[in-house]
């Protein structure tokens, strides 16, 4: 064969001297993150270090590893440690040092609360750079898998059955202990140990039972309020039209835990939620973001363990820091629609645009080019008024921006960054990690805006 090929001399390559300035240009994301961290006030983190012991790694170094890692899809502390040896940007951020994974993991866990303040500082830096001018926003949420397995969960119905079974075994073991002098027990059997193991399990089940009953009480209160609102709207509609409303009336909620309500022993604060990918159910948290329309930066974030988004709208919009500004208009999909959310947003000085139902697919060109509809009558319901508001030229154009603002942001976090499962457990810790994810996304987005 006469064809010649370019071949690699691997022995010679092993002796290659690399200048990081050549492989990390001035506009590289790693250098951008290092420059941003240098502008942050880290005094609250520094104040938590003692004056004793060996010199620790500087917070700037560890924050840089976490920020760049989450911005590029590296979330594991072990993978971050490995990257400081093998990946040039990580080696640059680490200053050619190699913090072990325990140091990285402990730092992340210890300073989760301080991340909220850093999140705000980075938004203020974005304003100083002229990249953020808070105006109209969109709000949306997504389910993210908790660090917990469904196999470590128990339903309320199963819990009651196990509890009765264990209690019966405890009673039986006590009876056997009283008859132990008769020599009826196996030699290797220690009755006190067997009873103690079952009592510990019963204590765990009692705790789970108490949590499920408290959740059921809160759920019933929310469902009862929603049921009363629907019945009131139904009665008002009947009085206005002078006839009985069509369709079946809503079913009243039932108090107490449902048989299928579950408690997870690995992460008790996570909940079983519907998984949009496979139409099944899994252990999740409900993550929420507020995205600015012009910059596509996340200006607010929240995490809860309620599957329903209605309870998340106002707490999420309240996470927008006042230092950054006040949103003017807010877009929310039909999952957030409620009179309480409309009133709450208006009380905060925000003009709400909340879908009253799902739009049908393939509506045709007429749905987008018809004249503005007639305004509703003065006695129209809140739902009818909002539906009209969204059909106006301004409302229609504004609401359609959701598809190019908040929805792509969530898509980037889950598909590009690859964040689909929390590394930490518990509502507070997972909420801190979600702030870290949103902060890392903002750095990546801000870098894109800066370099063009």
Beta bridge partners of 138: 291, 331
Structure pTM? 0.85
Residue 276 Cα to chain centre, angstroms: 15
Residue 141 Cα to chain centre, angstroms: 7
pLDDT for res 24: 93
pLDDT for res 81: 97
Q: Which residue has the tokens 């018809």?
A: 370
Distance CA 37, CA 55 (A): 20
pLDDT for res 370: 55
- The residues near 288 (Cβ < 8 Å, ≥ 6 apart) are 139, 140, 141, 301, 302, 303, 304, 309, 312, 315, 316
pLDDT for res 277: 64
The answer to whether the beta carbons of residues 68 and 436 sit under 8 Å apart is no
Pair type for strands 153-155 and 262-264: antiparallel
Per-residue pLDDT tens, the chain, 452 aa: give them: 689 999 999 999 999 888 899 899 999 999 999 999 999 999 999 999 988 888 999 999 999 999 999 999 999 999 999 999 999 999 999 999 999 999 999 999 999 999 999 999 999 999 999 999 999 999 999 999 999 887 888 888 888 888 888 888 888 888 877 775 545 666 677 778 888 888 888 888 888 888 888 888 888 887 888 888 888 878 877 777 777 777 788 888 888 888 888 888 888 899 888 876 666 788 999 999 999 999 999 999 999 998 888 889 999 999 999 999 999 999 999 999 988 999 999 999 999 999 987 655 555 555 555 555 677 777 778 888 888 888 888 888 888 888 889 999 999 999 999 999 999 999 999 999 999 999 999 999 999 998 87
Q: Which residue has the tokens 């200048």?
A: 19
Task: Determine which helix (DSSP H) or strand (DSSP E) holds 137, and give its type and residue range.
Answer: strand 137-145
Give the other-Cβ count within 10 Å of 51's Cβ. Answer: 4
pLDDT for res 329: 93
Q: Which two tokens stand for residue 118?
A: 């850093």
pLDDT for res 266: 87
Residue 285 Cα to chain centre, angstroms: 6
pLDDT for res 134: 93
Distance CA 443, CA 395 (A): 31
Task: Determine which helix (DSSP H) or strand (DSSP E) holds 427, and give its type and residue range.
Answer: helix 427-451
Q: Which residue has the tokens 């996340």?
A: 298
Topology (CATH) of 133-149+270-441: Nucleotidyltransferase; domain 5 (3.30.420)
pLDDT for res 182: 46
CB-count exposure of residue 172 (10 Å: 0-12, 13-18, 19+)? exposed
The stretches of 95-246 forming alpha helices (DSSP H) are 101-110, 112-128, 156-178, 191-241
The answer to whether the beta carbons of residues 409 and 296 sit under 8 Å apart is yes
∠ Cα 145 147 151 (to 5°): 90
């Amino acid at each position: 064969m006469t064809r010649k090929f370019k071949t690699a001399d691997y022995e010679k390559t092993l002796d290659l001297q690399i200048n990081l300035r050549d492989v990390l240009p001035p506009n590289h994301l790693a250098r951008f993150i290092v420059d941003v961290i240098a502008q942050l006030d880290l005094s609250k983190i520094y104040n938590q270090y003692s004056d004793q012991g060996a010199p620790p790694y500087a917070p700037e170094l560890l924050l840089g590893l976490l920020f760049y890692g989450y911005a590029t899809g590296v979330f594991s502390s072990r993978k971050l440690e490995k990257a400081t040896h093998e990946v040039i940007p990580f080696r640059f951020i680490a200053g050619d040092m190699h913090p072990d994974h325990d140091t990285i993991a402990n730092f992340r866990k210890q300073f989760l609360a301080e991340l909220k303040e850093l999140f705000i500082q980075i938004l203020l830096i974005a304003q100083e750079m002229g990249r953020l001018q808070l105006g109209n926003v969109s709000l949306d949420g997504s389910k993210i898998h908790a660090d917990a397995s469904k196999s470590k969960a128990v339903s309320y119905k199963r819990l009651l059955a196990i509890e009765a079974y264990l209690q019966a075994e405890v009673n039986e073991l006590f009876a056997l202990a009283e008859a132990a002098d008769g020599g009826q027990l196996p030699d290797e059997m220690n009755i006190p140990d067997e009873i103690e193991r079952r009592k510990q399990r019963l204590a765990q089940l009692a705790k789970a039972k108490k949590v499920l009953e408290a959740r059921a009480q809160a759920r019933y209160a929310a469902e009862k309020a929603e049921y009363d609102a629907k019945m009131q709207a139904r009665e008002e509609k009947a009085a206005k039209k002078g006839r009985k409303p069509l369709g079946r009336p809503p079913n009243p909620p039932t108090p107490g835990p449902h048989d299928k309500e579950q408690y997870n022993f690995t992460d008790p604060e996570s909940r079983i939620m519907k998984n949009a990918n496979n139409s099944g159910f899994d252990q999740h948290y409900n993550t929420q973001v507020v995205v600015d329309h012009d910059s596509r930066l996340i200006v607010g974030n929240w995490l809860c363990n309620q599957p329903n988004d209605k309870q998340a709208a106002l707490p999420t919009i309240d996470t927008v820091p006042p230092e950054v500004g006040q949103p003017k208009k807010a877009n929310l999909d039909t999952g957030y629609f409620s009179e309480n959310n409309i009133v709450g947003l208006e009380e905060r000085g925000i003009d709400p645009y909340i879908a009253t139902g799902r739009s049908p697919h393939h509506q045709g060109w007429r749905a987008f080019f018809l004249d503005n509809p007639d305004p509703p009558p003065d006695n129209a319901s809140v739902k009818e008024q909002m539906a009209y508001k969204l059909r106006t030229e301004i409302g229609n154009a504004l609401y359609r921006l959701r598809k190019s603002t908040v929805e792509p942001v969530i898509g980037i976090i889950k598909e590009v960054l690859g964040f689909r499962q929390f590394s930490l457990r518990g509502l507070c810790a997972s909420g801190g990690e979600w702030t870290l994810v949103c902060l890392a996304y903002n750095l990546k987005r801000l870098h894109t805006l800066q370099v063009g």
